[in-house]
Amino acid sequence: MEDSNLSSVSSSPYGFSMIVTMLSCIVVPAWIIIHRWNQRNVMGPKTWPLLGASIEQYINYDRMHDWLVEYLSVVKTVIVPMPFTTYTYIADPANVEHVLKTNFANYPKGEVYHSYMEVLLGDGIFNSDGEHWRKQRKTSSFEFASKNLREFSTIVFREYALKLSSILNQASADKKELDMQELLMRMTLDSICKVGFGVEIGTLAPHLPANSFAQAFDTANIIVTLRFIDPLWRIKRFFNVGSEALLDQSIKSIDDFTYRVIRRRKAEIKESKTTNENENKIKHDILSRFIELSEEPESDLNDKSLRDVVLNFVIAGRDTTATTLSWAIYMVMTHPQVADKLYSELKVFEENQAKEENISLLPYNPDGTKSFNERVKHFASLLTYDSLGKLTYLHSVVTETLRLYPAVPQDPKGILEDDVLPDGTKVKAGGMVTYVPYSMGRMEYNWGPDAAQFKPERWLKEGFFQNASPFKFTAFQAGPRICLGKDSAYLQMKMALAILCRFFEFNLAPEHQVKYRMMTILSMQYGLRLGVTRRS
């Protein structure tokens, strides 16, 4: 009789559903409990069946870099399973060297990273692998090694640093607060367009014209970064809704600007060749070199390829430099002893350099804007590629900023084949390994007990700058993909900081919050709002 009742219950639709529900109520919690029990001794974020660590990562998304610091300070390798892949985060220089150099071929950008970033960076140098990457790197390497480009860059960087100085001078006279990060973004965008593409776009004009390209570029950067933890982005992309719809609009605006730059440069090159004038001008910028290559019979470069070149150099030459300068100014203003020491070095440099070149310094007039600008120009004229090399404390300030606030805080790599890292961690093909410069700079096992302190002196020994291993100081990557623009970036950052810190003091605006924004580049979420005062 009981068997008959049970049979009748299980054979009815309602009864079957009840049994499934009862089993689910037992099996699913048991599954979760067993999973969590197996994770009890694992040093890393909490994981759940199917979801992996996505819940904890999503909760901590806005502070992900510091979230990783908390784990990596305890264990040098953190494994973070996600629904469709597994991220392995590393901060040990030995592991980093293995990934970036020793077994370089096994850790490309990879298909996953490429698919996330392709809409913005296309097949440019920062988003490509294999032969395509090698061709671009070879061309870019040749251009960055060019003496003409270095001299041209020095002139351009000085020109735009002076334009920024003039804006700050006026703000000081008007007692007006400014968003320094926005101004630096304008300065570096104008600079990279002039040095990289040979065009003048004028975003740093005194009236600070609206810049739809920069706004669209920042929006796109934020959204493609969000893709790394958003498992639904492909669905949003398919239906063109939410963040992906906004991304689509932003890419249209970016492409309008980029293709306009390419058309303008092509027209200038064609006109220059037709009139046989300014032949040397053609070779001064990087885009022109790629345009020349695209016109060769065997070339596979087209306008889309040139578009990718432009955008990859924008993210390299605008965003990274501007954000580092923003953090450097913030560090200097919040560390008075550093500000005083840097100011003293710049003053002594100015006096010594003027003596060497037999230049008389203009007298200081605190009330005269025109005479102040003239003094700044005098000082800027002393700043050359070679003379900037004498400013060792300035170089240390920039480097220490990059140690704690690297422009690229995380850099993920794909995994082609199963491998074992030097610390014994096993990584599986199809997953991703991410070295974390932001965390590495804060690790005591890398830098000692004062790792979290901003201390430019750590880079100096008996007055001379001492480099660290690029696998420990990873701000410019290392191995075959080491940053080609490192010297150019230092040149622009030191040029700008020398002028700004010699002639201005900065004070953070009351109640202004400084925190990073989650995107590919470590920019400040609310900008850097400050007041500025002229110095003698």
Banded model confidence at residue 363, pLDDT cuts 50, 70, 90: low
Torsion over CA: 210, 214, 219, 222 (sign): negative
Of 126-130, 325-329, 488-492, 502-506, which gets the smallest average pLDDT?
A: 126-130
Burial of 386 (0-12, 13-18, 19+ CB in 10 A): exposed
Alpha carbons 200 and 67: distance in angstroms, whole number: 41
For residue range 212-270, what is the model confidence (pLDDT) as tens digits? 888 998 899 899 988 987 889 999 999 999 999 999 999 999 999 999 989 988 888 88
Top pLDDT among 489 and 2 is at 489
Top pLDDT among 384 and 135 is at 384
For residue range 177-218, what is the model confidence (pLDDT) as tens digits? 999 999 999 999 999 989 888 888 899 998 999 888 889 988
- Across the strands, what pairs with 178? 530
- Reduced to 3 states (helix: H, G, I; strand: E, B; else coil), residue 41 is coil
Check residue 32 and give its pLDDT. 47
Other beta carbons less than 10 A from residue 74's beta carbon? 10
Whether the pLDDT of residue 394 is over 80: the answer is yes
User: Mean per-residue pLDDT for 99-103?
Assistant: 98
Instruction: Report the share of the chain in percent with pLDDT over 90.
Output: 61
User: Mean per-residue pLDDT for 299-326?
Assistant: 91
**483 marked among binding-site residues:** yes
Q: Which of 146, 241, 135, 156 shows the shortest CA–CA distance to 485?
A: 146
**Residue 448: both structure tokens together:** 């000692």
Check residue 358 and give its pLDDT. 73
Whether the pLDDT of residue 427 is over 50: the answer is yes
For residue range 258-294, what is the model confidence (pLDDT) as tens digits? 999 899 888 888 888 777 655 544 556 788 888 988 8
In degrees, rounded to 5, the angle at the alpha carbon of residue 490 between the alpha carbons of residues 466 and 94 is 50
For residue range 435-456, what is the model confidence (pLDDT) as tens digits? 999 999 999 999 999 999 999 9
Banded model confidence at residue 366, pLDDT cuts 50, 70, 90: low
Top pLDDT among 76 and 298 is at 76
Residue with tokens 């990289």: 196
Check residue 451 and give its pLDDT. 98
Alpha carbons 504 and 533: distance in angstroms, whole number: 5
Of 35-49, 155-169, 226-240, which gets the smallest average pLDDT?
A: 35-49
Of 19-33, 153-167, 317-331, 506-520, which gets the smallest average pLDDT?
A: 19-33
> Using an 8 Å Cβ cutoff, are 384 and 356 in contact?
no
Q: Tell how strand 529-534 and strand 178-179 pair up.
A: antiparallel
Whether the pLDDT of residue 28 is over 50: the answer is no
Q: Give Cα separations from 183 to 188, 192, 207, 440, 532 (angstroms).
A: 9, 14, 12, 29, 13
Alpha carbons 476 and 462: distance in angstroms, whole number: 25
pTM: 0.87
Of 136-150, 329-343, 415-429, which gets the smallest average pLDDT?
A: 136-150
Burial of 466 (0-12, 13-18, 19+ CB in 10 A): exposed
Check residue 85 and give its pLDDT. 83
What does the mean pLDDT of the chain come to? 88
For residue range 492-526, what is the model confidence (pLDDT) as tens digits? 999 999 999 999 999 999 999 999 999 889 999 99
Check residue 37 and give its pLDDT. 41
Per DSSP, the residues of 208-223 read ----HHHHHHHHHHHH
Banded model confidence at residue 36, pLDDT cuts 50, 70, 90: very low
Amino acid (one-letter) located at 438:
Y
In degrees, rounded to 5, the angle at the alpha carbon of residue 173 between the alpha carbons of residues 167 and 179 is 45
Check residue 271 and give its pLDDT. 84
Most confident listed range (34-38, 126-130, 314-318, 396-400): 396-400
Banded model confidence at residue 338, pLDDT cuts 50, 70, 90: very high
